[in-house]
Structure 1
């Protein structure tokens, strides 16, 4: 598509937007690039240029009047401060649903590695699509249009104002007064959302709907939230140092030779480590339960000890439990092991156990462990210190740490799976839990942003607006397969923008980059991939390949069995004590973080 044609197409979409013939969503992100000089000097040196790239997404299944800004403002103005309490936040979390869907995700993991259970796949999928479905969205091909880049930096409030003006007025050709009374959903990462909310707060007395930014319906995107979730897991469960007999993410990374920056891990390597540890712990617990349920003498008669996955498949032999059990029996067995009640105690001094040879249950409620410092309630440094355990405890610190780690990872996996299943309702059930957990994990900025979203869902959204937002929270660029995060699409566009324009000295607002490159980044990407493929420099796949981690699982599984991770052993200690994000978040919210949030964000009534 020529630059003129792409620009005219955006203008046509803006005209349809004004006439309410189309509903659009804008997602944008910062774009950074170094301009390197071969011979730098005092007046000419290497510099970092910051700009913004954006994508327009056509929304579907939007009822007429769904984005009524007048009604949104009326509802927002009617909210009273006393309506926003910690009890309301806590009561919004559906622990029973999270426990039940957690058990179903465990079944899904078993199905992935035990082919003999394939007969139960239909029943598992039925649970996802019927019993636990919250707001499933039908997969359909998403219509989207990359927009021109700009040199405005969305890290600043004024930069966000100029970005919105550039996108709406200059590129879409919308006159400011034509947006009166209407709202447009706009999203990005947490930082962008916070800056845009700050801009709205500081311009709330503007003379018009446009200058007061009341047209902007701010949403936080999911891929960056997933990344923050992973970082939070690392902060709560990554031991600063390890010793023989330790468990957790750090020791697993060492055994698997994964080199990660624990304070700021890269997304995909960190997610793979979480996936490997979660799958290994799940399969190891399944092995422990099966060994307790039926005789394992047949294993001792083998020529060599079987690996973890190999042993589980042996339990699928005719006549054994996994072979004879019905789906209901298997599901009930998991529900008996899994518990996610806020009333359960996880304290390392009296962890529940079923005797010396019993397999512990897996609760994930509030531990009795308290942080030593609750004073710094406005913690934006994303840090969560790990405590040293009491070496004189009569409990099992290793098992305590494993239980907290397992549940945090299992809920992360539900967050990830619900997005891929395009059930945004399930995703938001985890987000309700994250609203408290992020405060405990040190990601206070994300915790505050999720409080904003909670207020929207409780008070500000009409049912039509909520449905419109949920129906378009995940996308499908291909129209087939899994759900896809909107900000991940933008990240891919950013990658290709840098790839096509890497090393050029032009600015992000240069006409060449804006019109020739940014507007046509999709065909340029396809052209680049085709050239690489034709010359044999790269293989292009239509889908995403999945790494085979069975060897890693078997290796970790042997370590877990040797160290008896599943058995309660009084007095067993580790060098660190994992932090319970929910318990820590509860403490912060109750001791002042919620009130400071309310003091800052309008709710002075």
Structure 2
């Protein structure tokens, strides 16, 4: 559905009009004392009229040339019924907005739109074109191998009954939505099935050891990107450091780059939705047959090839079960040797986010108890549900607290290097620029010195050795930490000093191995508050780097964090993802050929817009398409197998999403609903900074006790794998059993707050406000 190219042919703007005429001769001046008729008595902000290749207009009011052009197109439609391009686009746009049928009928009567029936007919025509492209995509599979990957997920929609009667009640409709993404930069022969099948048959993974997993981690790289991430935060909040931005970004783009994907716009094709429930093994097998049928791929075409099948943990688990259950069938097609399951990263990232909250959440809010829960209450976000852990609120909490800690660490460094302490009544974000101002004591600070500051902060707070040092088992290194602080903590007034009431609830099924904040005796006379803080900053740094590396399209950097999570998921009690990452390690260390590794890595992420910093995970892309399918699920008689949803909607989702995003911009309108408003976090950071400074949270104080201590989950995971979990995993998977001992829990995308926007990066700053472009 090529809406952008169609819309580009319409002369909607003042592009074809001299600027002097557009600015002066085509406006009627208001009479004295009367509001401007073009602005409805309100002052509108200047907007960009046309984007991505069109001229920019800064008109702050209605453009009469647009109105005249649109009116002429409407009159042409009255004169000649096949001059319907403009009304057709209006009808399609109204469909994407779920516009009321009566409104569409009114626009149709006035000639501004085609009727609803005509719009549906146009969608079916566009669907036929999309289906033809899919056939062409599958036509060369036998000769050239698959030039695409499959991505699919379950989609759910609740149908509410107007009146509940026997046999007539609310019903949850379940189906499957799927997408095809064309592969890029695949070495010839990378997807041949025989080398991979031979490695599986030889049980090559049985040689894997814990030491090999540990040695696979590039610790100097982790330290380097940690320091670079710290620098990005300082530049974000200290304007006088902005001249160093190019040097900081070069650290990510050159020095610490691992496997940066070639910038390109991904070629994405959505498939027909079906009523098949892919959450069962039988349903997943039916989905695979349906996907091949939609691309008209004959079974004989897949004798020698593999197709990447991508999805969340539940989807991948079902595919693996299909491969196990059909192992003794007659043909490679029936044995599903062509299926190469690849677990995706967004749900994994969300699982790590949940693990951080599970590790660091402590219910006690008594005076003198510091930690994540205390700081959430301090910035008045106490309504956050740490068990449900909605992605957006959780992301902002982790980001804001982490940035506040990094900024306060900079304050301490500045005070130590200048012997100048700013007054306590000056807020953190006001104090830091004073050090680096043109007349400040650090005005001549070079990038090399600033980088040394960042490395020092990493060594103080973001590595496992920092938590060990804070525990008191080792002597504090003054070269890194400076002089320890000793003194009396000023009591902090807080309205949440009393513990939260305990509510009784139904017990939920939990993983057999859980990890959380635990009480601990301070035998070594260390600083328990600082121990917990160091462990928080370390795991949150890994989370932030995972977000940034994905958005920047450096899948190699992402995998360096995944190598760490192989241990940390086990230590945090997330055993399902711990098993999944062990499976991924077996694939990359023993079973994938070099060409297959390259093919998988080059296609692990998608970039629907083709813009820098806008790469995203494939499973999040599918969730976005699911969102649109459910939004257009607008009749009680529809189901996912029906012609309306499967054809008119399912095959056109990418185009519908793109049209909804770009069409208002043709008329100079802001893209309302396409971005979340960026709320200022200055007050939150200052509030946290004041607390950190007042209570010396980032300074070592021997003997400071807390009612809980968060353990080093990486070390716990290492010990678990060493004590038999790795051997258990290898015995289970080489013996033809499931990767995970526990059944994966389905994630319902119908849950409120489920995100449809990815993390993006612009000039080194993370953002989660922008809606996904459909392609």
Deviation (angstroms), 1:543: 6.8
Change over 3 Å in CA distance of 1:536–1:155 after alignment to 2: farther
Residue 261 (str. 1) matches residue 385 (str. 2): yes
User: 1:3-46 CA deviation, whole Å, 9 max, x = no partner?
Assistant: 22222221221113333276101111111111221222342322
> Within 2, Cα distance between the matches of 1:534 and 1:189?
37
**Which structure has the bigger radius of gyration?**
2
> Within 1, Cα distance between the matches of 2:617 and 2:301?
30
SS of the aligned residue for 1:323 comes to: coil
Question: In structure 2, what is the equivalent of residue 12 of structure 1?
Answer: 136
Deviation (angstroms), 1:66: 1.1
> Within 2, Cα distance between the matches of 1:527 and 1:23?
27
Residue 161 (str. 1) matches residue 292 (str. 2): no
User: 1:36-87 CA deviation, whole Å, 9 max, x = no partner?
Assistant: 2122234232222221111110111112111111111112223346411111
Question: In structure 1, what is the equivalent of residue 584 of structure 2?
Answer: 453
> Within 1, Cα distance between the matches of 2:365 and 2:357?
15
Deviation (angstroms), 1:289: 1.2
Deviation (angstroms), 1:96: 1.9
User: 1:475-532 CA deviation, whole Å, 9 max, x = no partner?
Assistant: 2111112122211111111111111115634222222210111111233334556799
Coordinate RMSD, CA, aligned = 2.7
SS of the aligned residue for 1:49 comes to: strand
Q: Is the contact between residue 470 and residue 476 of structure 2 (CA under 8 Å) also seen in structure 1? A: no
Question: In structure 2, what is the equivalent of residue 41 of structure 1?
Answer: 165
Question: In structure 2, what is the equivalent of residue 397 of structure 1?
Answer: 528
Q: Is the contact between residue 236 and residue 441 of structure 1 (CA under 8 Å) also seen in structure 2? A: yes
Residue 516 (str. 1) matches residue 648 (str. 2): yes
Deviation (angstroms), 1:176: 1.3
Question: In structure 2, what is the equivalent of residue 178 of structure 1?
Answer: 301
Deviation (angstroms), 1:198: 2.3
Change over 3 Å in CA distance of 1:392–1:461 after alignment to 2: closer
- Unaligned 5+ segments in structure 1 are 361-377
Residue 469 (str. 1) matches residue 594 (str. 2): no
> Within 1, Cα distance between the matches of 2:343 and 2:283?
18
Q: Is the contact between residue 311 and residue 342 of structure 2 (CA under 8 Å) also seen in structure 1? A: yes
> Within 1, Cα distance between the matches of 2:137 and 2:295?
7
Aligned with 1:223 (options 328, 346, 367):
346
> Within 2, Cα distance between the matches of 1:165 and 1:550?
53
Change over 3 Å in CA distance of 1:268–1:7 after alignment to 2: same
Question: In structure 1, what is the equivalent of residue 49 of structure 2?
Answer: none
Question: In structure 2, what is the equivalent of residue 246 of structure 1?
Answer: 369
SS of the aligned residue for 1:315 comes to: helix
> Within 2, Cα distance between the matches of 1:429 and 1:116?
32
Question: In structure 2, what is the equivalent of residue 583 of structure 1?
Answer: 715
- Unaligned 5+ segments in structure 2 are 2-125, 486-508, 738-775
Aligned with 2:416 (options 292, 302, 308):
292
Question: In structure 2, what is the equivalent of residue 424 of structure 1?
Answer: 555
Deviation (angstroms), 1:359: 6.3
* Equivalenced residues, count: 583
Question: In structure 1, what is the equivalent of residue 638 of structure 2?
Answer: 506
Residue 563 (str. 1) matches residue 687 (str. 2): no
> Within 2, Cα distance between the matches of 1:334 and 1:359?
19
Question: In structure 2, what is the equivalent of residue 326 of structure 1?
Answer: 446
Deviation (angstroms), 1:386: 2.3
TM-score by length of 1: 0.90
> Within 2, Cα distance between the matches of 1:416 and 1:491?
17
SS of the aligned residue for 1:325 comes to: coil
Change over 3 Å in CA distance of 1:567–1:347 after alignment to 2: closer
SS of the aligned residue for 2:185 comes to: coil
Deviation (angstroms), 1:420: 1.4
> Within 2, Cα distance between the matches of 1:526 and 1:475?
16
SS of the aligned residue for 2:443 comes to: helix
SS of the aligned residue for 1:306 comes to: coil
Question: In structure 1, what is the equivalent of residue 575 of structure 2?
Answer: 444
Question: In structure 1, what is the equivalent of residue 489 of structure 2?
Answer: none
Residue 63 (str. 1) matches residue 166 (str. 2): no
Change over 3 Å in CA distance of 1:27–1:320 after alignment to 2: same
Change over 3 Å in CA distance of 1:40–1:530 after alignment to 2: farther
Aligned with 2:150 (options 26, 48, 56):
26
Q: Is the contact between residue 75 and residue 459 of structure 1 (CA under 8 Å) also seen in structure 2? A: yes
> Within 2, Cα distance between the matches of 1:114 and 1:554?
13
Change over 3 Å in CA distance of 1:9–1:191 after alignment to 2: same
Change over 3 Å in CA distance of 1:387–1:213 after alignment to 2: same
> Within 2, Cα distance between the matches of 1:241 and 1:155?
39
Change over 3 Å in CA distance of 1:535–1:495 after alignment to 2: farther
Residue 107 (str. 1) matches residue 231 (str. 2): yes
> Within 1, Cα distance between the matches of 2:679 and 2:137?
41
Q: Is the contact between residue 522 and residue 528 of structure 2 (CA under 8 Å) also seen in structure 1? A: no
> Within 2, Cα distance between the matches of 1:269 and 1:312?
27
